[in-house]
């Protein structure tokens, strides 16, 4: 196919762990609308040489979806932007990933579970991060939320290319942890 923009919606019945083989050399924007709770990024994505933007949205409003095979994106050399909506971030960092070309990461209504991975390792050239309505955990103690809040920001201050951080609808311990860490940013400028 020679589509520059491709949108794929799953039906909620079939497993996305077995995507069909597709050849999409011209695709620059890929939109994945997924209806299952468990998803695997298709192997064909790594052959999308011109892919610049990836948008993955979970259509299930009750749960954050888990993504598997995220390391495929490490082999996509032109990927500049990723937007995730209602995705479990901890599932992404289960395997060591590194997307060097990524410049902007948007996380909307994502769930942040415990992960020891650093954003600075996964996305070393990230310039902009946007977090909207972050959910740290549904039922946890205040101490657990404090640890998870620090984990979400793990490596954020090590991102030497970071120029812009936007937090929308973020409250509580995540916001508190961010304010504690923000002065450690290399390019921090208080206004």
- Can you give the residue ranges of every domain in the chain? 5-184
Per-residue model confidence (pLDDT) at position 66: 83
What CA–CA distance (Å, rounded) separates 6 from 31?
6
Q: What is the CATH number of domain 5-184?
A: 3.80.10
Residue-wise pLDDT for 142-188, tens only, equals 554 454 455 555 566 677 888 888 878 766 656 666 666 666 665 55
Across the beta sheet with 29-34, the strand order is: 5-9, 29-34, 53-58, 81-85, 104-108, 128-132, 164-168
Report whether pLDDT(20) > 70: yes
Share of the chain above pLDDT 90, in %: 26
What CA–CA distance (Å, rounded) separates 112 from 129?
15
User: Best-predicted range by mean pLDDT among 12-16, 107-111, 132-136?
Assistant: 107-111
Query: pTM (2 decimals)?
Result: 0.82
Q: How many CB atoms lie within 10 A of CB 105?
A: 19
């Amino acid at each position: 196919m020679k589509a520059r923009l491709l949108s794929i919606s799953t039906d909620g019945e079939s497993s996305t762990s077995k995507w069909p083989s597709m050849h999409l050399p011209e695709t620059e924007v890929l939109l994945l609308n997924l209806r299952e709770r468990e998803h695997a990024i298709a192997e064909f994505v790594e052959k999308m040489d011109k892919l610049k933007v990836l948008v993955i949205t979970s259509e299930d409003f009750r749960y954050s979806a888990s993504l598997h095979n995220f390391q495929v994106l490490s082999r996509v050399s032109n990927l500049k932007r990723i937007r995730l909506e209602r995705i479990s971030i901890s599932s992404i960092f289960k395997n060591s990933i590194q997307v060097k070309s990524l410049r902007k990461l948007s996380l909307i209504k994502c769930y942040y579970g415990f992960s020891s991975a650093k954003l600075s390792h996964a996305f070393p050239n990230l310039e902009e991060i946007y977090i909207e309505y972050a959910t740290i955990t549904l039922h946890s103690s205040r101490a657990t939320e404090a640890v998870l809040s620090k984990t979400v920001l793990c490596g954020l201050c090590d991102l030497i290319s970071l120029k812009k951080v936007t937090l929308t609808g973020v409250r509580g311990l995540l916001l508190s942890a961010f304010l504690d860490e923000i002065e450690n940013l290399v390019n921090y400028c208080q206004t």
